[in-house]
Amino acid sequence: MSENHTKILLLSAYEAKSHKCWRKFLEENFTRYKFTSVVLPPRFFSWRIHGNPLIFSEYETEKLTENYDLIIATSMCDVATIKGFFPNLAGIPVIVYFHENQFTYPETERVKSYQDAQIKSINSAVVAEKLLFNSFYNMQTFLEEGEKLLKKMPDFNKIKIFEKLAAKSEVLPVPIYPLGFDRKTAKKIPVILWNHRWEYDKAPERFFHAMDKIRNKGYLFKLNVVGQQFRRQPECFDKYKNIFRDEILHWGYIKDIDKYHEILRNSDFVVSTSLHEFQGLAVLEAVSAGAVPVVPDRMAYREIFQNIYKYASHKNEPEKDINALAENLAIFIEKYNKGEYIPTPDISGFYVSNLTSRYEKIFAQIIAR
């Protein structure tokens, strides 16, 4: 079959911002394939995870009853059930892409439905020809914690599927477009960026507490606190917006993408306090714009950044975590104030130009089967 007639069904059941960037990358860089995308907006998480086959069957029947050469689905999709609902899809090879997995959420966020979601993701992995993960941390936690979950079953718990799942698993990050930067004109006061989702799992209160400690030690800085906001958000944002009113340069969600990129380029340090991170696209994008990362030594950050950029992780001990961040960031600020050059890490391995061919090779291999 000629490539320009190769049809790919792309399913995304909970299209968060990073998921949308990934989908756009596929559609824009693989024009030789004909993509049909079926996506659902990122809200009502539990309903999306469990109800996506029903929603697709009711609202997307026309698209899902067509013939395809390949299905690419995010791990939020219940692929096994979708194939059952649409017999025409049963024999079509599937790649499941894991932007995240359902095994590592902070305990205070965990709800009963998570175990059901975990089982569904395992079922989807079983029916797939290829499993792709955006980081080694993501792949490792899915394979290890998934196997532990099945061993907890009251009987029939000797299932040995994870060796097979591991054999068809591979790490392939979401690519980023480098923003480019020019750090020749240093500012007198360093600008610190926090650019994550305004939700609990990004631990914003730890960031604000650390900044409070640094300010109390006499360090001067400016702040860019930006990122996606939701109807509900941690209370610390309202509190610290007033406390840091003299330091704040930008605050809240920036709709204009060009303005957002300019904010990244004008930031000297980008900080993460996340408790839950599978690739850290917000940090990677900021680094590509010239910001020096200051991130915890946990999750995907362990495999991405060298030790100089990581502070000691105390995930379950907030005060120690805050102190470690404050100490490391203070060291960087002192270097900045002395005019010492702090190199940004090489993250070119995440650039679109270096990842597109790997995606292409995998697509071709699975389609050829």
Query: What is the Cβ-side half-sphere exposure of residue 13, based on CA atoms within 13 angstroms?
Result: 30
As a whole number of Å, the CA-based R_g of the chain is: 22
State the residue for tokens 């995907």: 300
Coarse DSSP helix, strand, coil percentages of the chain, rounded to the nearest 5 percent: 45, 15, 40
Task: Give pLDDT, residue 112.
Answer: 52
Q: 283 vs 58, 146, 185, 267, 348, CA distance in Å? A: 38, 28, 22, 12, 14
In the chain, at which residue ranges do the beta strands (DSSP E only) sit?
7-12, 34-39, 70-74, 94-98, 130-133, 169-171, 191-194, 222-226, 248-252, 269-271, 292-296, 310-311
234: alpha, beta or left, given left = phi > 0 and alpha = psi -120 to 50?
beta
* Distance from C-alpha of 247 to C-alpha of 244, rounded to nearest angstrom: 5
pLDDT one digit per residue (tens) for the chain, 369 residues: 455 579 999 999 999 889 999 999 999 999 999 999 999 999 898 899 999 999 999 999 999 999 999 999 999 999 999 999 999 999 999 999 999 998 887 654 444 557 888 999 999 999 999 999 999 999 999 999 999 999 998 999 888 899 999 999 999 999 999 998 766 556 689 999 999 999 999 999 999 999 999 999 999 999 999 998 887 889 999 999 999 999 999 999 999 999 999 999 999 999 999 999 999 999 999 999 999 999 999 999 999 999 999 999 999 999 999 999 999 999 999 999 999 989 999 999 999 999 999 999 999 999 998
pTM, 2 dp: 0.93
Q: How far is CA 135 from the centre of its chain?
A: 9
Q: How far is CA 17 from the centre of its chain?
A: 9
Burial class of residue 5 in the structure, from the number of CB atoms within 10 Å of its CB (0-12 exposed, 13-18 middle, 19+ buried): exposed
In 3D, which of 294, 291, 275 has the Cα closest to residue 214? 294
> What are the chain's domains?
3-175+351-368 (3.40.50.2300), 191-348 (3.40.50.2000)
Burial class of residue 291 in the structure, from the number of CB atoms within 10 Å of its CB (0-12 exposed, 13-18 middle, 19+ buried): buried
* Distance from C-alpha of 183 to C-alpha of 170, rounded to nearest angstrom: 36
DSSP string, 82-133: HHHH-GGGTTS-EEEEES--TT---GGG--THHHHHHHHHHHHHHH-SEEEE
* Distance from C-alpha of 354 to C-alpha of 178, rounded to nearest angstrom: 11
* Distance from C-alpha of 91 to C-alpha of 6, rounded to nearest angstrom: 16
In sequence order, the 6+-apart residues with CB closer than 8 A to the CB of 267 are 191, 192, 193, 224, 286, 289, 290, 291
Token representation of residue 236: 């610390």
Q: How far is CA 283 from the centre of its chain?
A: 10
* Distance from C-alpha of 113 to C-alpha of 118, rounded to nearest angstrom: 9
Token representation of residue 122: 């395992």
